Structure 1
Amino acid sequence: MKTFSETPQPSLPSLQRHALSGETMGTRYSAVFFAGAGIDASAVGAALFAAVDKVDRQMSTWKSDSDLSRLNAAPAQQWIALPGELMAVLDAALRVGVQSHGAFDIGVGDLVDAWGFGPAGPVPDESRIGALKQRVRRSASDILEIDQVQKRARKSAPIALDLSGIAKGYGVDALASCLDGLGITRYLVGIDGEMRARGHKPDGRAWAIAIEKPVAGVREAMGVMELADAAIATSGNYRHRVELAGTQHAHTMNPLDGQPASNRLASVTVVMPSCMLADAWATALLVLGETAGVELAQRHGMNALFVLHDGDGLRQISIVDGQREP
């Protein structure tokens, strides 16, 4: 599946290639861009780090002093002032939650921790899992109220919010906005596989994005997608897993049944203008599975690639502008 949005330009040899990277959100961010010879790469690097560090300090559940942790710890019915960036992500998350019929829900922090994928550690807590199974779950859209005018939020009941399915995508958008603000118009930025591209390379080619083969313990490309002026995000159940009672469980939580997602999908890749939304929708479609997920992607006119287990191999379902390709 290819995504193009402008006519390739002629080669511009005066532009120089720069590649910068650093650590953020427990992984790494990267930026490859082309700019004139007068660009101060060190200043660009500092600006990129500041952009992703700001997202991490606001939205991390691993930092007890983050704005998200502050909201999680606040008592019910108390308004909490929040920065605009976090407010935007909360608003987008709630909208995707409603549009996906609950398949995407940021109110799964308790499940993430209980299954060993949160700050508490990598070991599932069986007693806590059992207790959560007995509890009637309410979604974040039922509990969280946001006030965009006054930049504040409050909860009607205790809830543990987790933005791991959307914050990295927003971080990629923040990297893109940073370069846009510096007048850089040909770039590819990413955080742990979530990517966003603008323009083409100076030779007129689109950016080539490798799609990883979704097999545990294997790091090889399954294919390549060309990207220009768009973002791409992939959610998969083949990297982070825990074992409980002899069974392997994936890290993506299914809010609809309170369990780790379990279906034939190995990964879902989504292409959208916003990496934040691509990130959230990739998670939602992965949770929904190869039937409901594909149908929802079609109804919303999405560009998505579903990779599912088929016997001993893998099979692909490609949706382009809402249409299923043969």
Structure 2
Amino acid sequence: MSTESKPLVRYRLSGPTMGSRFSAVFFAAAGLDTQPVQAELQAAVDRVDAQMSTWKPDSTLMRLNRAPLGQWFDLPDELYQVLLAGLHVGSLSHGAFDIALGAQVSAWGFGPAPAGAVETPRCPAATALTLNPERRAVRKVAEVSLDLNGIAKGFGVDELARCLERHGIQRYLVGIDGELRARGEKPDGAWRVALETPAYGRREPFAALELTDAAIATSGDYRHWRERDGQRYSHTLDPHSGAPLHNGIASVTVLTASCLYADAWATALMVLGVDHGARLAREQGLSAVFLVRDGENIREVTVGI
């Protein structure tokens, strides 16, 4: 009898990461030793955090931010992949996704540095960085403060998926916060995940989506925000203005093959807004759900679903 034809048992593993927790729900044969699986999952997300955190002063990313201009900086493979993907989505989205917003993120009170005015002009990542693919290195040609919080968790989810697959696990749902990736199905059917209502201060489902062999990520204005002078500001910034978004979009959810790209595209489409974002999603073959604030109501616009 093959492993897949044996009765399957549900397992659930989790651990701390990136100020939150990861989770891995999967089905495998009874008697599986989960200790090595747990250890590899934790090591994978710890590696991502150690390389890409803006909250750890000694992370590889923060050391890159402090590196002198013109000096080649060797990168671990994971961080190089994420920088490359971030620049790729930035190019395809005409700058709507930009990993060079670190100073602006802090200025608006969403980063590790004290909030305050940005004193230097912002340089887009595409013009501030030069990558060397042969040696997996990068150098800064302009002052830049990189922030990967719009893509690192998605990559972390993909790393969780790769860990399970190395152990021969073919039916799983892994996630960090609202970023999720699924493979296969549960014994009773597809994985069902909730699309949240974009409500401030509470969590409730808006709809349910079925997920099979795909990843999903959401960018929204309702989870992380701050108030200034009675005005509520989203943590998602518009790269073109350097200020929080104020375009009526409550959230954008993207479904695609990898969580790395779902995460980045959710931010890019939210910045672009429902008209330009929906058009670009169609051009890129993405499935997306836009939730738009219309007074007290929420209007749903879907692409490819």
TM-score range, shorter chain: over 0.9
- CA drift at 1:54: 0.6
- Which stretches of structure 1, 4 residues or longer, exceed 6 Å deviation after superposition? none
Whole-Å separation in 1 of the counterparts to 2:229 and 2:185: 50
- CA drift at 1:138: 2.1
Give the aligned partner of residue 92 of structure 1: 85
Q: Deviations over 1:215-269 (max 9, x none)?
A: 1012100010000100000000111111223211110111011111111110000
Q: TM-score, normalised by structure 1?
A: 0.90
Q: How does 1:194-273 map to 2 (within 5 A)?
A: 194-203=179-188, 205-273=189-257
Give the aligned partner of residue 126 of structure 2: 141
Q: Which amino acid aligns with 2:163?
A: C
Three-state SS of the structure 2 residue aligned to 1:20 is strand
Q: Which amino acid aligns with 1:239?
A: R
State which drifts further: 193-202 or 291-300: 291-300
Find out whether 1:41 has 2:25 as its counterpart. no
Whole-Å separation in 1 of the counterparts to 2:244 and 2:277: 16
Three-state SS of the structure 1 residue aligned to 2:270 is helix
- CA drift at 1:13: 6.4
Three-state SS of the structure 2 residue aligned to 1:93 is helix
Whole-Å separation in 1 of the counterparts to 2:253 and 2:226: 23
Residue from 156, 164, 170 that aligns with 2:155: 170
Count of matched residue positions in the alignment of Structure 1 and Structure 2: 302
Give the aligned partner of residue 23 of structure 1: 16
Give the aligned partner of residue 285 of structure 2: 301
Give the aligned partner of residue 95 of structure 2: 102
1:12 touches 1:202 (CA, 8 Å); kept in 2? Answer: no
1:62 touches 1:119 (CA, 8 Å); kept in 2? Answer: yes
Three-state SS of the structure 1 residue aligned to 2:148 is coil
Q: For structure 2, which runs of at least 5 residues remain unmatched after alignment?
A: none
Q: For structure 1, which runs of at least 5 residues remain unmatched after alignment?
A: 1-10, 322-326
- CA drift at 1:155: 0.4
Question: Higher RCO, 1 or 2 (CA under 8 Å, sep at least 6)?
Answer: 1
Q: TM-score, normalised by structure 2?
A: 0.96
Q: Deviations over 1:3-48 (max 9, x none)?
A: xxxxxxxx96611100111110011110000111231112211111
Give the aligned partner of residue 46 of structure 2: 53
1:13 touches 1:202 (CA, 8 Å); kept in 2? Answer: no
Q: Deviations over 1:60-108 (max 9, x none)?
A: 1111111111111101000011100100000000010010000000000
Give the aligned partner of residue 318 of structure 1: 302
Aligned identity (percent) is: 54
Three-state SS of the structure 2 residue aligned to 1:218 is coil
2:269 touches 2:278 (CA, 8 Å); kept in 1? Answer: yes
CA-based RMSD: 1.3
